[in-house]
Amino acid sequence: MVVPLEMGWRHLLFESWPVDPEVMDAHLPESLSSDRHDGNAWLSVIPFTNTAVRPKGFPRSLGVRLPEINVRTYVIRDGVPSVYFFSLDAQGLASVTGARLFHHLPYYYAQISLAMSDGRVRFESRRRHPGARPGRYEATYWPTGEPFEAPEDPLAEFLVERYRFYTEAPDGSIRFTDVDHDTWTLYPADATVETDTLARADGFARPDADPVYYYSPGLDVVTSRSQRPSGEVQNDH
């Protein structure tokens, strides 16, 4: 990412499962360790839409809308709870290309639709990225209870209150980006997921256990530039 960005994240479903930490660590770069809640690592699939994506300081009217779904886990490095992305599927071809080139994020071009009806979100995504493993996701999700602030619930706080994410560059080095936003407001949620092959495309069997669901109407976000951690040595091989 050449410059910091501003955007909104809207209509998010946090769909999460506990995973054996040893299984998760086998999927992570050596310099990152899985973060744990109640002894478990966690895997999440998160459909939503970005709104008004633009360079920091630019008017919202110049921003673009970018529906997205990502597969992620939770890591810790230097004592900082963070996120690690396995894949991010998004609608915008130019945005996908830019994120891959400048931010080293594993974005994939996909055809995505997100629509609201009677308080429910209908989300459909089909990966169209040349040469990539196929991935599809089709679901309807909705809030089911009263809103609460994420820090009021230990698991919710673990899953969403994170302000740094890591990626692995093509040379094998690790980079991070910091994000700034208000505390998350969440709702208990439910979902009907008809199709999900994204986790499998990233090398995970979809867990048999029922997922934990949270819904958020969203918040606004500012991201930093992509940075290399201090002490990280570039791998030229």
What's the mean pLDDT when you consider all of the chain?
Answer: 89
Over residues 87-110, the mean pLDDT reads: 70
Both structure tokens of 31: 């310099």
Cβ neighbours around 111 below 10 Å, total: 12
Q: 229 in a domain, yes or no?
A: no
pLDDT at 236: 43
Percent of the chain predicted with pLDDT > 90: 68
Residue with structure tokens 């809207």? 10
Q: Say which CATH number the domain at 168 has.
A: 2.40.400.10
Q: 231 in a domain, yes or no?
A: no
Q: What is the pLDDT of residues 148-166, one digit of tens each?
A: 999 999 999 999 999 999 9
Element (H, E) at 157: helix 154-160
Q: Are 88 and 68 spatial neighbours (Cβ–Cβ below 8 Å)?
A: yes
Phi, psi of 48 (to 5 degrees): -175, -175
Q: Which residue has the higher pLDDT, 167 or 233?
A: 167
Residue 234 pLDDT > 70: no
Give me the number of domains the chain comprises.
1
**Cα–Cα distance measured from residue 47 to residue 107, given in angstroms and rounded to the nearest whole number:** 14
Q: What is the pLDDT of residues 42-76, one digit of tens each?
A: 999 999 999 998 888 999 988 889 999 999 999 99
**Cα–Cα distance measured from residue 18 to residue 207, given in angstroms and rounded to the nearest whole number:** 8
Q: 193 in a domain, yes or no?
A: yes
Q: 228 in a domain, yes or no?
A: no
Q: Which residue has the higher pLDDT, 20 or 231?
A: 20
Over residues 117-128, the mean pLDDT reads: 96
CA 114 vs. chain centroid, Å, equals 16
Residue 192 pLDDT > 50: yes
pLDDT at 62: 87
Closest CA to 92 of 120, 112, 70, 106: 112
Q: 237 in a domain, yes or no?
A: no
**Cα–Cα distance measured from residue 206 to residue 90, given in angstroms and rounded to the nearest whole number:** 21
Q: Are 45 and 198 spatial neighbours (Cβ–Cβ below 8 Å)?
A: yes
Q: 235 in a domain, yes or no?
A: no
Over residues 173-200, the mean pLDDT reads: 95
Owning domain of residue 98: 5-223
Residue 237 pLDDT > 50: no
